[in-house]
C-alpha cells in the first residue's frame, strides 16, 4: 500500500477514535441520570467486557503470566479505574471540562515515555503537543465553568495520567500481539471482574424493556423510563465507546506510536461542539480557528511518527 494511503488511513482512524471517545462523556452524563457513579462505571465495563469474557480462557492458555500481567495492568489503568473517575466527575462537572482535561493525555504519554522508557523526543514533538492543546484551550474559553465544577477536576486529571501510562504499556509490552488478542485479554479480564459486581449491584432490577426509546438522550421524569434510557446509553458506551474503540486504538497503536495515537484526545472536545450544535448552540469562527490549530498540532506530532 502506498505511503500516502497508509497515512490517510491512520488519520481517518485517529478521527474516528476521537469521535467515538468524544461522545463517551455525553453517554456517561446520560447514565448518571438514573445510575450512581459506581453503577455507571460498572455497566460500562460490563457491557464492554461481556463479549470478550468467553474467550478469556483461550487467551490465558495461549500466553504466559508476564503477558497476562500486563493485560491486567492495562485493563486497570486503561479502563477500570479511569472509568470510575470519569463517571464520578461526569455527574458533578461539565463534560467540556472533562474533555479538556482528557486532552492532556498526549502530554502525560510523552512525560511517562521520557521518564520510564527513556524516549528520545525533539522540539518538534513538544511544539506539536502544545499547539494542539492550545487549540483545545481556545474551545474551553467558549464554555463557562464554575469553581464548584472545577474542584472535581482532580479525578479526570488522575485518570488522564493513567491513560498516559497505559498508552506506553500497550505500545511497549503488548503491541507485538495481534490486536484481537489484546482486546480479548484486556476486556475478558474486565468482564470477569465486573460480571459479579453488576449482579451484586442489582442494576438490572426494575428494568422495563417496553420503555425502550430511540431518543435515549432526552430526559424523562418517569423513573423507570429514564432508567431504560440510561441503560441504553451504557450499552452504547460499553460496546462502542469501550470495546470497539479500544480495538481501533490497538490497531492504530500497532501502526504508529503512543504519542501520535494519544493525540486523538485533542479531537474529543470537538465532539462537544457537535453535540452542542445539535442541542441548539451556535458555532462561531472561533470554533473553526480552534479546529485548524488542533489539526496543525496533531499534524506536527505526526511528522515525527
pLDDT digits (tens, 9 = 90+) for 173-223: 998 999 999 999 999 999 999 999 999 999 998 888 888 888 888 888 888
Is residue 148 helix, strand or coil? helix
Angstrom distances, CA of residue 215 to CA of 218, 220, 225 = 6, 10, 11
At residue 271, the pLDDT reads 74
Residue 282, Cβ neighbours under 10 Å: how many? Answer: 7
Residue 35, Cβ neighbours under 10 Å: how many? Answer: 24
**Cβ-based neighbours of 149, under 8 Å, separated by 6 or more:** 92, 93, 94, 97
Is residue 52 helix, strand or coil? coil
**Cα distance between residue 239 and residue 245, in whole Å:** 8
At residue 282, the pLDDT reads 62
**Cβ-based neighbours of 50, under 8 Å, separated by 6 or more:** 191, 195, 238
The set of cell numbers assigned to 248 is: 481501533
Q: What is the pLDDT along the chain (305 residues), one digit of tens a residue?
A: 455 665 778 888 888 888 888 788 788 888 989 999 899 999 999 999 999 999 999 999 999 999 999 999 999 999 999 988 888 877 676 666 666 677 777 777 777 777 776 666 677 777 877 887 787 777 666 666 565 666 777 888 888 889 888 988 888 899 899 999 999 999 999 999 999 999 999 999 888 888 888 888 888 888 889 999 999 999 999 999 899 999 998 888 888 777 777 777 777 777 766 766 665 556 677 767 777 787 787 777 766 54
At residue 147, the pLDDT reads 59
DSSP secondary structure code for residue 215 in this structure: -
At residue 302, the pLDDT reads 64
The set of cell numbers assigned to 300 is: 506536527
- The verdict on pTM exceeding 0.85 is no
SS3 content of the chain, % helix, strand, coil (to 5): 80, 0, 20
DSSP secondary structure code for residue 143 in this structure: S
**Cα distance between residue 13 and residue 261, in whole Å:** 9
* Residue that the C-alpha cell 477500570 belongs to: 80
Amino acid at each position: 500500500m502506498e505511503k500516502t494511503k497508509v497515512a490517510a488511513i491512520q488519520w481517518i482512524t485517529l478521527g474516528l477514535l476521537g469521535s467515538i471517545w468524544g461522545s463517551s462523556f455525553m453517554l456517561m452524563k446520560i447514565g448518571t441520570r438514573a445510575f450512581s457513579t459506581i453503577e455507571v462505571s460498572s455497566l460500562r465495563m460490563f457491557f464492554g467486557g461481556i463479549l470478550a469474557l468467553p474467550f478469556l480462557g483461550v487467551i490465558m492458555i495461549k500466553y504466559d503470566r508476564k503477558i497476562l500481567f500486563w493485560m491486567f495492568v492495562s485493563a486497570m489503568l486503561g479502563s477500570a479505574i479511569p472509568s470510575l473517575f470519569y463517571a464520578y466527575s461526569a455527574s458533578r462537572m461539565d463534560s467540556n471540562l472533562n474533555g479538556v482535561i482528557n486532552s492532556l493525555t498526549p502530554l502525560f504519554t510523552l512525560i511517562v515515555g521520557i521518564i520510564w522508557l527513556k524516549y528520545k523526543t525533539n522540539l518538534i514533538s513538544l511544539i506539536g503537543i502544545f499547539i494542539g492543546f492550545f487549540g483545545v484551550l481556545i474551545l474551553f474559553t467558549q464554555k463557562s465553568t464554575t469553581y464548584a465544577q472545577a474542584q472535581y477536576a482532580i479525578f479526570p486529571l488522575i485518570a488522564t495520567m493513567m491513560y498516559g501510562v497505559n498508552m506506553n504499556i500497550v505500545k511497549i509490552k503488548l503491541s507485538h500481539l495481534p490486536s484481537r488478542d489484546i482486546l480479548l485479554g484486556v476486556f475478558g479480564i474486565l468482564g470477569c471482574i465486573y460480571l459479579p459486581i453488576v449482579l451484586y449491584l442489582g442494576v438490572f432490577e426494575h428494568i422495563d424493556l417496553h420503555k425502550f426509546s430511540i431518543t435515549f438522550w432526552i430526559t424523562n421524569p418517569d423513573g423507570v423510563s429514564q432508567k431504560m434510557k440510561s441503560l441504553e446509553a451504557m450499552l452504547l458506551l460499553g460496546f462502542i465507546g469501550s470495546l470497539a474503540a479500544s480495538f481501533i486504538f490497538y490497531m492504530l497503536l500497532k501502526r504508529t506510536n503512543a504519542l501520535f495515537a494519544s493525540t486523538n484526545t485533542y479531537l474529543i472536545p470537538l465532539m462537544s461542539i457537535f453535540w452542542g450544535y445539535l442541542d441548539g448552540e451556535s458555532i462561531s469562527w472561533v470554533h473553526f480557528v480552534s479546529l485548524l490549530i488542533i489539526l496543525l498540532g496533531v499534524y506536527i506530532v505526526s511528522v515525527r511518527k
